[in-house]
Chains A and B, each alone.
Chain A
Amino acid sequence: MQTGWSNETLREIFPAIWDGFVVVLQVTLVAGIIAVVLGLLVAIGERNGPVWLRRPLGAVFQFIRNTPLLVQVLIVWTATSLYINPDWSAFAVGSAVLGVHYASYTSESYRAGIDAIPKGQWEAATALNLPTGRVWGAVVLPQMFRRSAAAVGNWVIAMFKEVPTLFIIGVMEMIAEARAFQGQHYTGAVEGYTLAGLLFLAASYPVAVAMRRLENRLASE
């Protein structure tokens, strides 16, 4: 049984945890792109999509938003590995589920940004007979992005910190690496989890501070 902190163990476990950290960044990149793009599509779809699509789309994403990521990961992984295609990697499936889960949040931030645009702008666009593509591309989206950018950025930071959930399906992020190390060496719980926590802190704190600055700047302009 391990007792206390050991610098020796820290040196040994560092490469493994660092590998896990790189995986976390990779997942964040893939899932982040999904969350940012899909969230926008959902927000537009819920507002201006075909009528038959709006309610089901809203309902599905409300369900995703109000149920745990962990169970979603487990259910999708079970479905793909047992029934759909066992060759799909945990990395791909995990990133997809994480991205869709966070798209359910970002879509709300986008929607708030769209709702904040004064009604007169829509009416003016109609009066000018602008085609739908121009209404969104030239009028709505540029204003929406300014209002939603900080909130969406914050969701991506939050998502970054939820990547370790994917260890449950075998994505080799930091928790999985720490557990594997413990399985081989019977030590490293303190060093591994502490290191993982500190790496998260070191990576997310500067970004969070930058986001707060951005938020303040966009709010004051």
Chain B
Amino acid sequence: MDLQAVIESLPRYGEPLLVTIGVTVASAALALVLAFALGLMTGSRHLAVRTPARVFVEFFRGSSVVVQLFWFAFAMPVVLGIQFDYLIAAGIIALGLNYGAYSSEVVRGAIAAVPQGQLEASTALNLTPLQRMRLVVLPQAWPEMIPSLCAFAIMLLKASALVSVIGILDITWLAGLIGKQPGQDRLLHYGVVLVIYFVLAWLIWTGMRALERKAKRGIGIDAKSVKGRLAPTVATGGVH
């Protein structure tokens, strides 16, 4: 019986599930750090700071994440004369750089949207540029970034399935492997994997929504008054 075979093999998804989650979390962390670094740089007034960051962002947004994944896994080791002991590093780097470049636009946009008067007030209070960023700008920009960052986090989760094609043993890879075994139905296994991804996406969305409420409350905006804006955002025009 197909269904029974699928149910009996469910425990085997445990370890690959940790790989999928690990790749997503690690590359999201890399992407977040990069997004802030690049977002601050592309929003800079100085051309010398802005230009290299802009080139980096356009370069990674302009080509394909799938190609970048293959490039980091199989071309970079040749160019640099190194060998990845763990290909998973190539996967995390490719996803992290690509989504970091995309998300940097979110960071830049949210920072630019902080009202001018706030900056003038910071100057009037004689805050240093660092204090101004840390105490005034970022606390206000951060809640505005969360819905878009959430959309990118879900896109990143979905893109993490791609690491299976460079030989990382995640849940997509496992479904293909088990599905080929006798007595197993590949369709059912891929179906199981789709449901797992959907649940993970829902968890990200729920977590980010709670984070947004908390961040808004932190700067004195009542979460209820912005309830309409908490609907799941599909990075509107964010991905190009």
Query: A residues within 8 Å of B by Cβ?
Result: 2-5, 63, 65-72, 74-75, 78-79, 82-83, 105, 108-109, 112, 150-151, 154-155, 157-158, 161-165, 167-168, 174-175, 178, 189-190, 192-194, 196-198, 200-201, 204-205, 208, 211-212, 215
Measured CA separation A48–B64 after assembly (Å) = 36
Of B64, B71, B79, B162, chain A has the most CB atoms within 10 Å of the CB of B64
Residues of B within 8 A of A163 (CB): 64
Within 8 A of A (CB), among B58-83: 58-59, 61-68, 70-71, 74-75, 78-79, 81
Measured CA separation A96–B201 after assembly (Å) = 24
Determine if A197 and B63 form an interchain contact, defined as CB atoms under 8 angstroms apart: yes
Residues of B within 8 A of A72 (CB): 194
Task: Provide a sorted-by-A list of 17 A–B residue pairs whose CB atoms are within 8 angstroms.
Answer: A2-B78, A5-B79, A66-B158, A68-B161, A71-B194, A74-B190, A105-B234, A108-B236, A109-B234, A151-B237, A161-B64, A164-B67, A193-B71, A196-B64, A197-B64, A204-B62, A215-B237
Measured CA separation A94–B197 after assembly (Å) = 20
Residues of A within 8 A of B186 (CB): 78, 82
Residues of A within 8 A of B78 (CB): 2-4, 189-190
Residues of B within 8 A of A167 (CB): 66, 165
Determine if B158 and A189 form an interchain contact, defined as CB atoms under 8 angstroms apart: no
Known interface pairs A151-B237, A175-B70, A190-B75; A67-B158 also in contact (CB < 8 Å): yes
Known interface pairs A190-B75, A198-B63; A75-B191 also in contact (CB < 8 Å): yes
The 6 closest A-B pairs by CB, nearest first: A68-B161, A75-B190, A154-B240, A164-B66, A161-B64, A66-B201
Tell whether B92 is near chain A: CB-to-CB under 8 Å: no
Determine if B81 and A3 form an interchain contact, defined as CB atoms under 8 angstroms apart: yes
Determine if B70 and A193 form an interchain contact, defined as CB atoms under 8 angstroms apart: yes
Determine if A205 and B172 form an interchain contact, defined as CB atoms under 8 angstroms apart: no
Apart from A71-B193, A162-B64, list 10 A-B contacts with CB within 8 A. A65-B234, A67-B201, A68-B194, A70-B164, A78-B187, A109-B236, A151-B236, A161-B65, A204-B62, A208-B240
> Residue B67 contacts which of A68, A154, A193 (CB distance < 8 angstroms)?
A193
Residues of B within 8 A of A192 (CB): 75
Query: In chain A, what residue has the closest Cβ to B200?
Result: A66
Determine if B234 and A70 form an interchain contact, defined as CB atoms under 8 angstroms apart: no
Measured CA separation A174–B194 after assembly (Å) = 26
Residues of A within 8 A of B165 (CB): 70, 167-168
Determine if B193 and A161 form an interchain contact, defined as CB atoms under 8 angstroms apart: no
Residues of A within 8 A of B236 (CB): 108-109, 112, 151
Residues of A within 8 A of B190 (CB): 71, 74-75, 78
Residues of B within 8 A of A68 (CB): 157-162, 172, 194, 197
Query: In chain A, what residue has the closest Cβ to B237?
Result: A151
Measured CA separation A2–B64 after assembly (Å) = 24
Measured CA separation A3–B80 after assembly (Å) = 9
Query: In chain B, what residue has the closest Cβ to A112?
Result: B236
Nearest CB in chain A: distance from B158 CB, A: 4
Residues of A within 8 A of B74 (CB): 189, 193
Known interface pairs A79-B187, A108-B234, A189-B75; A70-B67 also in contact (CB < 8 Å): no
Nearest CB in chain B: distance from A202 CB, A: 8
Determine if A70 and B187 form an interchain contact, defined as CB atoms under 8 angstroms apart: no
Determine if A154 and B176 form an interchain contact, defined as CB atoms under 8 angstroms apart: no
Of A3, A105, A175, A193, chain B has the most CB atoms within 10 Å of the CB of A193
Tell whether B198 is near chain A: CB-to-CB under 8 Å: yes
Residues of B within 8 A of A212 (CB): 240
Determine if B59 and A201 form an interchain contact, defined as CB atoms under 8 angstroms apart: yes
Known interface pairs A2-B78, A65-B234, A204-B63; A75-B187 also in contact (CB < 8 Å): yes
Query: In chain B, what residue has the closest Cβ to A150?
Result: B237
Residues of B within 8 A of A162 (CB): 64-66
Determine if B240 and A157 form an interchain contact, defined as CB atoms under 8 angstroms apart: yes
Residues of A within 8 A of B176 (CB): 74
Tell whether B239 is near chain A: CB-to-CB under 8 Å: yes
Query: In chain A, what residue has the closest Cβ to B238?
Result: A154
Residues of B within 8 A of A63 (CB): 194, 198
Query: In chain B, what residue has the closest Cβ to A2?
Result: B78
